[in-house]
Copies of this chain bind each other. A is one copy, B any other.
Amino acid sequence: MTYCVAMNLAEGLVFVSDSRTNAGIDHIATFRKLYTFGTPGERVIVLQTAGNLATSQSIISLLRQRLFGSEPHLLNVPTLFEVARLVGQTVREVAQYDAESAKSGIDMSCSFLLGGQINGEPPALFNIYPQGNFIQATQDTPYFQIGESKYGKPILDRALKYDLNLEQALRGALVSFDSTIRSNLSVGMPLDVLVYRTDSLNIPKGVRIREDDPYFAEVRERWSQGLRQLLESMPTSPEHFLQ
């Protein structure tokens, strides 16, 4: 499995992905699930994937290969909505190509989060389904998750607001990953992080947070401790609850 979160906030975009890929429980490997495309000063495109690795790699390869053709591609369509359509079409194309083998019962589907900005437009964030259609994040719901999303959802549902600054939002995302990694073997370190500031129009360097990262270790430790303290500080249950 996989866990990816992306946020579209007042100040910009935040992306965090894990990097564990597994087929069964004994075939585990590290694969980056965060891809960037762009033209400095003109557009920044970030893609995150969850689902079948063969399928998502095929889609990314096709998207890359076509950057050098004359047909519409990620770097020449005029809006991010058109970029989402292109990705969705490519998702459908690969699903079609694999349709015969998918009848074997293996889940060959995959989904994408697509975020970025094209000069002249505000940043945007899309959740592209395995069927190739997609929805866009809004101020009411400024984040999307794909993959193993349930463990890390409660903290985002509570804490994530459109007007959080990027640093605060990133902290929320990291805590959400910590919860997921602790409870689910199929999501694992390292984490790939990318934070994009609105109107910077350059692909951020991003950072890979490894198992031994001292900042993440401190967040994990303090979060765990804080949660236990918070639970202890909850009011005592009424006597009749225990009878």
Contacts and interface: CB of A to CB of B under 8 A. Distances in A.
Contacts of A155: 227, 231
Interface string A230-243: 11111111101111
Interface stretch (A58-66, A103-111, A119-127, A215-223): A215-223
A170 B204 CA distance: 46
A27 interface: no
A207 B240 contact: yes
25 contacts: A150-B151, A150-B184, A151-B153, A151-B154, A154-B154, A154-B179, A154-B183, A158-B224, A158-B228, A159-B227, A166-B242, A170-B241, A171-B231, A171-B234, A193-B241, A195-B242, A195-B243, A204-B243, A206-B243, A207-B243, A215-B235, A219-B235, A222-B233, A222-B234, A223-B230
Interface of A: 148, 150-155, 157-159, 166-168, 170-172, 174-175, 179-180, 182-184, 193, 195, 204-207, 209, 215, 218-219, 222-224, 226-228, 230-238, 240-243
